[in-house]
Chain A
Amino acid sequence: MSPSRGIRRWTTSRARRVTSRKVAVSLAVGLSGLIPAEAAAQWSGDVALGVRTYPREPSDAPAAGREASVSLRATRSFSWSDGSQFLTVSPLLRLDPESVSRSRIDFLDLTWEKIWTRWEVAAGLRQVDWGVTESGSVVDVVNQLDFSDDAPSPTPMGQPMVNVRFFPSTGLFEAFLLPFFRERRSAGRGGAIWSPLPLADAEFEHSWGRHHPDWALRWSQMIGDFNVAVAHFGGTNRQPRFEVTSDPSGEAESLTPHYDQIDQTSLTAQWTHDAWLVKLDAVRRASQVESFVALVGGIEFAFATYLSVFAEYLYDGRGSGATTSMEHDVFAGTRLLTQDWTISSRVFVDRRNSNLVLSTTASRRIGDTAAAELDGRWFRGDSSEEPSRANRLDSYLALKLTYFF
């Protein structure tokens, strides 16, 4: 593909990849100095081989009809001082034989933690999971997402952080310091930005760029049948905003991802009563360019431990200006778990234009140590109605074989 017209895969520049790898390696070397000789436990994890095919060839979509990758994930914990200090190391290796930019060496988790009776502190690279709804992740603002991974939805990437937690008798207070911003990864067809314009380097609103120290505070509490959490995040938005840059003659030249500074306040609530769950994830985000409310609300009903159904509503106050295609969607899903199978099905329907995205994942275990998973997504509707940078228009079918150790 020619770099000036057509789609260019979005890659992080070589210099930045080297820097982020240096950070990860220094963290690993530094933290390993903390492990005393008698630390125990084994490696566990999985090796997976995945292939994905895209049957459609719309005119403005990237050409790759098939993608494959091999991944290795492992995790090991070391604990000492009678369990009051521990280190978790979870490396990840993904290789796409045809694309260096889809490959990555990373840590899903590389954290040292120390726990006291009422306090805990953690430092390193890790993921946090705040949302309670099934369909969306409006509330998960801390971790960057990797759209080029071989998975039905974008996978979170480890975020460097220092996290302090305080446990009074009920409730939990947390403070996060989040240095080192990670840019969004969207190499490959799964993450491609659908635009004929080439992509320029990222720009940051704050002059410190990716070294701006972001922070977050969170309070969570169980009140009767409710689990409630309120959080506030201040710093660089993980979600980029795209701007078209023009050349001197006024013609559109390239697409530039902008990472703005945001203040985001979120509320998460779940009401649990026997087989019913009612959930809400709501955020209010304010930045230099926009200020809006987005929320996901829904219910879950468990017919039995092995069958759950979900129904949710997704709302984004920006309406058609939203940077995701889920601004006015209705979501329904089911999950079935049996001895050998896990089958889940999800459908999003856009209330404005009736576009529909249906995805299904069926996974079967093979013996005690392996599994095979078939995963597909089908889009029906008018793709011109979706924001041009949405990647969910692409129907695909994928097969993944995993061996667990």
Chain B
Amino acid sequence: MIAPRRLLLAAPALLLLPRGADASAEAMAEAVRGFTDGAEVRPGRVAMDISPLVENGNAVPLSVIVDSPMTEADHVRAIAVFNERNPQPHVITVRLGPRSGRAILATHIRLATSQNLLAVAQLSDGSFWSDRAQVVVTLAACVEG
């Protein structure tokens, strides 16, 4: 008789968990739409470099390189990084141009928990390209204190 009751108790949790995850993925998708203005984002040309296993989420080295000749005719206009499960989906947005010479960005970020990251680059022809990364965090950035 215990087993069905346990199942009954677990049922609401089972319903809630995936919905919570969807909500955060949806928040990230919304932030990406805010950056792209609804344009199509294709995978490729962007390389995000971040350790797949992070011990300390308080300062995680992250770099993004975009494959581009960075000429007046063909360059990267902007790079934005988004996350799925921090309190806010936005991480950083940078603007660059042919004066940059190389489309490269490096910084240190905070990760509240294990999650997916998405880097999106806007090219001068108006197209958007992206790269995903999955990161496992063992010690989260202190959201709780």
Q: Do the two chains belong together in a single complex?
A: no
Residues of B within 8 A of A (CB): none
Residues of A within 8 A of B (CB): none
